[in-house]
């Protein structure tokens, strides 16, 4: 393991992952080894390779870099990520091993290798540990290069999409002892200004879901004002009401498009008690799934952020119980074609899924009834409350196995 970390550090950021996989291949006598990164669509893996310009290689190219998209099909690769377990398959030329590359529940990708002989349990454990180390290598080195981001983008981003992407958290999923959360944004073709955000303090979880009015660059710039203000006031340690008031003033004063505003749900969860303060600024009301029932949370009514620069705000409060699921969506989930969706029934049907898979299942359901292109962004944020903040997590190689989704049926 030390040799692999040294190999990653001694290589350039672009070659760090290849250095680790090469070291593993040599150590295990593997016939092939590669890293597949999760596509931003959430519905595919992408194999990254460095292929000389005169060499063979199918897929999207950027100079000598090649990205080949492998859509999820319910097969071993998707099962490995979904269940967070190593998959082995007998093949004509040896044994294929697929190990999830995961950190704190974020499925970063997959380590894929071919071994000449059936791997022993000890070998599989070493591969799984290396896959976990590889997650840290990717996280550390993607700060210095666009390679991983380029590989994840199945379709090019517009300027407004690029701005919106920078407003989202670095990881869409987070597992902690007391909670599991995951967010998802299914963008419209013209970008509707949706965002979600979260930040974990020692005993508090902060989160937000926002929707800036309009489309395109103007909407993305309005969203930038709102998210920037919320992060700034949050980092100064002020409460939800003060955060909302600061963002309201910022959007009202600085938005370049007259009449700009942002709807939002802001949350502050006390991890010691489960008490969750919630502020709704003209947004779709949050939903609570408890004991199989889904209900809308009644919260004090507030104007959207930026609509009236001198308005006041009020927050409500709910105490979460172990097993509760809090769901926040934007109005793209309730657009005209999606309005026919029975959201409470849909939430009941995916109650057993890890939030990582649950947000994608909800997005898939909207796309199924609305077509491949949405009229507005659809953003989802799911928070599962487990309690036990003072307890340590029970994890294996970057994931809590007890919280993982069940395997897809054959």
Q: What pLDDT digit, counting tens, does each position of 1-47 carry? A: 677 778 888 999 999 999 999 888 998 999 999 999 999 888 999 99
Asked whether the predicted pLDDT for residue 190 surpasses 60, the reply is no
| Predicted local confidence at residue 7, as pLDDT | 81
| Predicted local confidence at residue 257, as pLDDT | 79
Asked whether the predicted pLDDT for residue 338 surpasses 70, the reply is no
What secondary structure does DSSP assign to 350-378, as a single string?
Answer: TTTS-HHHHHHHHHHHHHHHH-SS-SS-E
Contacts for 10 with CB less than 8 Å, ≥ 6 apart:
19
User: Selecting from 3.40.50.880, 3.30.1330.40, 3.40.50.1000, 3.60.40.10, what CATH number does the domain 157-403 have?
Assistant: 3.60.40.10
| Predicted local confidence at residue 77, as pLDDT | 96
| Predicted local confidence at residue 139, as pLDDT | 96
Q: Using CA atoms, how far apart are residues 383 and 183, in angstroms rounded to an integer?
A: 9
Q: State the average pLDDT over residues 116-133.
A: 94
Helices 16-28 & 2-10 angle (0-180, nearest 10): 150
Mean pLDDT of the chain: 91
Asked whether the predicted pLDDT for residue 57 surpasses 60, the reply is no
- SS3 for 148-214 is HHHHHCCCCCCHHHHHHHHCCCCCCEEECCCEEEEEEEECCCCCCCEEEEEEECCCEEEEEEEEECC
CATH tag, 2-151: 3.30.450.40
Is the pLDDT higher at 364 or at 169?
169
| Predicted local confidence at residue 393, as pLDDT | 85
Q: State the average pLDDT over residues 253-267.
A: 91
Q: State the average pLDDT over residues 126-150.
A: 94
Is the pLDDT higher at 395 or at 55?
395
**High-pLDDT (> 70) share of the chain, %:** 94
Convert the pLDDT of each residue in 129-140 to its tens digit. Answer: 999 999 999 999
Cβ atoms of 156 and 186 within 8 Å: the answer is no
Indicate the range of 115-124, 264-273, 391-400 predicted with least confidence. Answer: 391-400
Band of the pLDDT at 188, cuts 50, 70, 90? low
Q: What are phi and psi of 211, to 5 degrees?
A: -140, 105
Asked whether the predicted pLDDT for residue 246 surpasses 90, the reply is yes
The domains of the chain are located at 2-151, 157-403
Convert the pLDDT of each residue in 96-106 to its tens digit. Answer: 999 999 999 99
Asked whether the predicted pLDDT for residue 53 surpasses 80, the reply is no
Same fold for the pair 2-151 and 157-403:
no
Band of the pLDDT at 332, cuts 50, 70, 90? confident
Q: State the average pLDDT over residues 261-284.
A: 97
Q: Using CA atoms, how far apart are residues 88 and 376, in angstroms rounded to an integer?
A: 41
| Predicted local confidence at residue 372, as pLDDT | 66
């Amino acid at each position: 393991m030390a040799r692999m970390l040294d190999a990653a550090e001694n290589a350039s950021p672009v070659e760090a992952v290849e250095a680790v996989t090469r070291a593993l291949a040599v150590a295990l006598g593997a016939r092939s080894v590669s890293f597949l990164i999760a596509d931003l669509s959430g519905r595919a893996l992408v194999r990254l390779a460095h292929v000389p310009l005169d060499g063979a290689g199918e897929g999207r190219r950027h100079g000598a870099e090649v990205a080949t998209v492998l859509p999820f099909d319910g097969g071993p690769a998707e099962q490995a990520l979904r269940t967070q377990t190593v998959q082995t398959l007998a093949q004509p030329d040896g044994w294929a091993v697929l190990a999830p590359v995961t950190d704190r529940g974020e499925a970063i990708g997959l380590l894929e290798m071919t071994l000449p002989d059936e791997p022993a349990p000890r070998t599989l454990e070493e591969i799984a540990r290396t896959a976990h180390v590889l997650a840290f290598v990717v996280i550390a080195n993607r700060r210095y290069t666009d390679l991983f981001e380029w590989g994840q983008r199945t379709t090019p981003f517009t300027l407004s999409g690029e701005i919106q992407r920078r407003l989202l958290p670095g990881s869409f999923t987070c597992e902690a002892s007391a909670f599991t959360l995951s967010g998802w944004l299914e963008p419209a073709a013209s970008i509707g200004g949706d965002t979600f955000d979260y930040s974990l303090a020692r005993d508090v979880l902060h989160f937000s879901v926002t929707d800036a009015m309009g489309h395109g660059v103007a909407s993305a710039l309005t969203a930038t004002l709102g998210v920037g203000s919320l992060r700034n006031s949050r980092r100064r340690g002020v409460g939800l009401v003060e955060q909302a008031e600061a963002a309201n003033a910022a959007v009202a004063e600085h938005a370049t498009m007259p009449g700009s505003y942002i709807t939002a749900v802001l949350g502050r969860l006390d991890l010691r008690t489960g008490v969750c303060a919630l502020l709704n600024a003209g947004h779709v009301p949050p939903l609570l799934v408890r004991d199989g029932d889904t209900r809308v949370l009644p919260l004090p009514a507030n104007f959207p952020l930026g609509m009236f620069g001198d308005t006041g705000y009020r927050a409500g409060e709910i105490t979460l119980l172990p097993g509760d699921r809090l769901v926040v969506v934007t109005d793209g989930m309730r657009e005209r074609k999606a309005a026919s969706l029975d959201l409470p029934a849909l939430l009941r049907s995916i109650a057993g899924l890890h939030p990582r898979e649950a947000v994608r299942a909800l997005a898939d359901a909207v796309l199924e009834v609305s077509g491949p292109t949405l009229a507005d962004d659809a953003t989802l944020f799911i928070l599962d409350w487990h309690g036990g903040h003072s307890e340590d997590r029970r994890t294996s190689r970057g994931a809590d196995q007890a919280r993982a989704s069940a395997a897809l049926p054959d």
